[in-house]
Amino acid sequence: MENLQLLLEQTALTNDEYDLIVRKIGRDPNVLELGLFGALWSEHCGYKHSKSLLRTFPNDSEAVKVKAGEENAGVIDIGDGLGVVFKIESHNHPSAVEPYQGAATGIGGIVRDILAMGARPIALLNSLRFGELSKARNRYLFEGVVAGISGYGNCIGVPNVGGEVLFAPSYDGNPLVNAMCVGLLQIDQLMRSAATIPGSLLMVVGSATGRDGIHGASGLASRSFDEDREMRPTVQVGDPFLEKVLIEGCLEAASSGYVDAMQDMGAAGLTSSVMECVAKGGTGVDLNVDLVPRRESGMSAYEIMLSESQERMLLIVQPANEEHVKSLFAKWDLVAITIGTVTSSGRARIYEEGKIVADLDIPTLVEAPIYQPDSRRPAYLDELLNVAMPPAPNVKDVLKIFKLLLASPNISSKKQVYSRYDHEVQTRTVVKPGEGDAAVLRLKQSTRGLAVSVDGNARYTYLSPYVGGAMAVAEACRNVAVTGSTPIAVTDCLNFGNPEKPEVYYQLQECIRGMSDACRSLGVPVISGNVSLYNETEGKSIFPTAIVGALGVINDCEKLIPTSFQNIGDCVLLVGQGLNIDETSMPASEYLARMYELEAGNPHFDLQREASLQKFLLEVGALGLLNSAHDCSEGGVAVAIAECCIVGGIGFNGTGDWQNPRWDTVLFGELPSRVIVSCDTAVENQLMEIALRYELPITNLGITKAEDFTIDSLLTCSIHELSDVYYKGLDSALN
């Protein structure tokens, strides 16, 4: 084959993989066949460096109806005949190249994953990471990504209800854009993707196929940004208005009984959608590329099969229902076209101008090789884990430091972001962005609701991959638990560097081990997810970033626990730890990073205490003992209390020994598994008795009051002053 090395480079296949293909099919593949292998054996589609690790996740419970890896997304049965479908996915590399379209099409793709299950998308969340805003490039990426999310999401009628945005130098040039979608369906109308019946028709509906996104899965999502190549043609272009009618048309088709299976055309386009459907069904396919609607002339079979043009769905339909399906979509001004037939051959035969241009065995095509690279603990850990913590600053600077943290882009209000999103469409949103640790959505059929959150802290994972992975699961679930909701399942997006480097594979391996242990300890299965590898620019990897989306159920939305203080004169308690916080609280903290530009130390995490804390929250929440509850994380206790005050417009008077042993660690240390709660004074003793039963430390921090924020003799300022700093922090960094 001429220019073989160039073709292997385009398809991200190695010479060894090419030799393996030749051995498996008994001949040299042609150019189209090589493109099919490149797409399906890519990291993005084949998970060849991570599949063996992902199998260690707990993925089952009584409520799980569709497990991770079985379909486009996982499904949980929440009772009353309802199922919840949710998943998170990355669109990191496209967003680094074209931030607006990269983020926009990330939203479109995750929505179609949920839609393919027959579920109505009811909520979006996103987890974003950028480099420091002092650099113009990072500000450009930030503005483009936020604009892309709002520009696409606001048009499709799905509320964007929550998320997180953080900034750190490791993301310079390689932003992370992780999008999560939640869907709702009648459990008996769950749609599958397997093409099981020979003679069934393959129909495509939605956008015509263009040349955008070719090599997106293999060329963009499965390699590092370390070569001088033009990437823009590999980024797709979205049409949210077409997506909106596609949502409505597909939902009607799914409930009509005329469609046997449905699949999103996402990464690798027709190639992945068609081959995965027939592989799951144990069947084969005859596909005619001449029948595929195109919006550009002169497209080859290679381009048609590998295009990642957006807003396209694949349907599996019985011949008797073909005209019904066409008529149904015509009502939505969409054209459904038959492009092929399911066969019993077990082979993929692709036709062009009446000739077979590809003929491959389906299992051989879809079963990518699985690698287990060498794993080596990174040498940097020996130095960073043993760094001596700096001494406490002058206590006279406490207010200055406090305001510095409140103004940090990683802590300050993200109103500048979420105010651009429509978070009230569909009228389900009970707790909106900026109001709580988790978003809460009302199930209109009852008083019940769903709490959803995304979370992850890469500093912890960088310093201890095991601890960082476990804490990502714990904090996402804790965000749900503080609302009074019971966490029932999680989804994950694992953003790492080049897994072929032993140090990166170690990070991935240990992070997944930590996540698995946390999931088992908290009783939450992993029902879906995504792995985004090769997040490197010019050979420099991002911090290992495990993002976890958690979902919980609350029985009565009227009884959910708010984040902010509600009443003057309430007791404020710290659950999970006393005030005798020492230097062990400083590793990986925002305080250490902002004050000393240090990302160091040896973080620790107690899974048993975390599980006890979440059980405590659910018990006291059900008893109605809490007036508020807020997770204590970035910025420590002082920042968490300030957030309760700022959002609620109520002050705080802190009493007790806040300087033992060090005032800075007490105020700003970030020990895990801690929650700030408020309650009526009459129930304080009852709360303490329940905490004692769970072997949880619980400390009275003070009492809420009318206006000022006061902590012992350390801090005194007005809530208005803190609010001004908190709400202007991100704007100041951007400007």
- By DSSP bridging, strand 120-130 and strand 160-167 are parallel
- Name the 3-class secondary structure at 81: coil
SS (HEC) of 164-205:
EEEECHHHCCCCEEEEEEEEEEEHHHCCCCCCCCCCCEEEEE
- List, as one string, the DSSP characters of 336-387: EEEEEEEESSSEEEEEETTEEEEEEEHHHHH------------THHHHHTTP
The phi and psi torsions of 310 (rounded to 5 degrees) equal: -85, 175
| Phi, psi (rounded to 5 degrees) for 324 | -60, -45
Cβ count near 650 (within 10 Å): 23
Maximum C-alpha span of the chain: 85
Residue in 44, 49, 93, 423 annotated catalytic: 44
DSSP, collapsed to helix, strand or coil, labels residue 34 as helix
Measure Cα distances from 562 to 12, 163, 428, 579 in Å.
Answer: 49, 17, 17, 24
**Does residue 661 have a cis peptide bond before it, meaning omega lies within 30 degrees of 0?**
yes
Catalytic (active site) residue 423: no
CA distance 161 to 452: 9
SS3 732: helix
Give me 184's structure tokens.
């709702």
DSSP for 4-15? HHHHHHHHT--H
Which residue among 49, 91, 215, 630 is the active-site one? Answer: 91
Which contiguous run of DSSP H or E holds residue 316?
Answer: strand 312-317
Confirm whether 215 is a catalytic residue.
no
Which 3 state secondary structure label does DSSP give 80?
A: coil
Q: How far apart are CA 720 and CA 725, in angstroms?
A: 9
Q: Which residues are catalytic?
A: 44, 91
